[in-house]
Amino acid sequence: MSSFLIKMNFKGRDIISIRDFSKKEIDYIINYANKMIPYARGEKYEAILRGKVLSSLFFEPSTRTRLSFETAMNRLGGRVIGFADPSGTSQKKGESLADTIRMADSYSDAIVIRHHQEGAARLAAEFADAPVINAGDGAGHHPTQCLLDLFTIRAEKKGIKNKNIVLVGDLKYGRTVHSLAHALALYGAELTFVSPVTLKMPTEVINDCKELGVEPLQTASLDKAVKEADVLYVTRIQKERFPDPEEYNRVVGSYKINIELLKEAKKDIIVMHPLPRVTEIDPEVDKTPHAIYFKQAFNGVPVRMALLALILGGQL
């Protein structure tokens, strides 16, 4: 075991918001995730979580997050219980989230939760003795996505500090970008936020970046911003988050990443996306070396393996 693994103890810790973690702790998780890569690919196997059970409670749809958590647990020898759709659970009979969590807590060693209400994971952590991982709480946080994004940027660009990172799309309702903006500011990245006026980054997030010493540039023009970018982080305009469908119709399709746009960018720009994408990235971009989003999605496995091992006390 390397010395960096001895220093920090995450056993039993909740993973609710990236704001709960210091830069040092994030580095620690990312370093551990790096060691998990051959295990995530199935090239090596160590059942360090044998006998452990994870509750996977997805009250909202998910492909990557849910499957990568399940893969992560399976690759480390643990088991998964849970649901991908709450329609078959007692929630439909009016059971409170608190009671559902109490049940999951008594059946398992850790809980992963995705829920449509902001603060749901924080509430879950109050009612569970087992550690709780937030896999997305409405328009709130998605810390494991943030960690895998940081992992990806660091791996692809050999660092985060002073990198020009452009976040584009729905910056108002997009939960991934709120957590990510904070973490990138923590690492001293140069930030540019590109969005339609109605989907601007919330003031709290801007202020948060400023407090960390980063003054983000805000613009509606992607053409200009892309020229200086090292990383272009694209998000989907999420129809399900709009209280008013008219507002959605006005902004959908505002930005489209295609080969033409990338011709104006640096040669080594990378394009990231938390996925699912709809129309914001032209499929022709997939074939270019700029497209990192599928690799990014895979990185969810080693990062979540690292987190599960850390909070459940498994050691490589």
Residue closer to another protein by CB (options 19, 200) is: 19
Q: Which two tokens stand for residue 231?
A: 């990383």
Q: Give the residue from 111, 93, 115 showing the smallest Cα distance to 102.
A: 111
Q: Give the residue from 19, 296, 299, 11 showing the smallest Cα distance to 143.
A: 19
Q: Which stretch in 34-42, 122-130, 227-235, 250-258 sits in contact with another protein by CB under 8 A?
A: 122-130
Instruction: Provide φ and ψ at 112, rounded to 5°.
Output: -110, 130
Task: State the binding string over 8-47 for another protein (x if CB under 8 A, else -).
Answer: ---------x-x----------------------------
Residue 101 C-beta: closest distance to another protein, Å:
10
Looking at residue 227, its amino acid is K
Return the residue of 18, 49, 76, 123 that touches another protein, per CB under 8 A.
Answer: 123
The kind and range of the H/E element at 210 are helix 203-211
- Which of 66, 114, 163, 273 does the annotation list as catalytic? 114
Residue 204 binding another protein, by CB under 8 A: yes
Residue 223 binding another protein, by CB under 8 A: no
User: Is residue 264 a contact partner of residue 224, using CB atoms and an 8 Å limit?
Assistant: no
Residue closer to another protein by CB (options 182, 304) is: 182
Residue closer to another protein by CB (options 35, 122) is: 122
User: Is residue 220 a contact partner of residue 197, using CB atoms and an 8 Å limit?
Assistant: yes
Spatial CB neighbours of 87, under 8 Å, sequence gap ≥ 6: none
Residue 119 binding another protein, by CB under 8 A: yes
Residue closer to another protein by CB (options 85, 118) is: 118
Q: Which stretch in 4-12, 115-123, 155-163, 303-311 sits in contact with another protein by CB under 8 A?
A: 115-123
Is there a catalytic annotation at residue 65? Answer: yes
- Which of 65, 100, 144, 152 does the annotation list as catalytic? 65
CA distances from 25 to 8, 18, 151, 185 (A): 8, 10, 13, 15
Is there a catalytic annotation at residue 93? Answer: yes
Is there a catalytic annotation at residue 114? Answer: yes
Return the residue of 15, 33, 40, 97 that touches another protein, per CB under 8 A.
Answer: 97
Is there a catalytic annotation at residue 267? Answer: no
* d(C-alpha 311, C-alpha 20), whole Å: 14
Residue 126 binding another protein, by CB under 8 A: yes
User: Is residue 229 a contact partner of residue 165, using CB atoms and an 8 Å limit?
Assistant: yes
Residue closer to another protein by CB (options 120, 251) is: 120
Q: What is the largest CA-CA distance in the chain?
A: 56
Residue 96 C-beta: closest distance to another protein, Å:
5
Residue 143 C-beta: closest distance to another protein, Å:
13
User: Is residue 245 a contact partner of residue 269, using CB atoms and an 8 Å limit?
Assistant: no
* d(C-alpha 163, C-alpha 268), whole Å: 12
- Which of 75, 142, 178, 273 does the annotation list as catalytic? 142
| Number of residues engaging another protein in binding (CB under 8 A) | 19
* d(C-alpha 61, C-alpha 52), whole Å: 25
Q: Which two tokens stand for residue 218?
A: 């805000």
Residue closer to another protein by CB (options 120, 225) is: 120
Residues at the site binding another protein, with contacts judged by CB under 8 A: 17, 19, 96-98, 115-120, 122-123, 126, 137-140, 204
Just list the catalytic residues: 64-65, 93, 114, 142
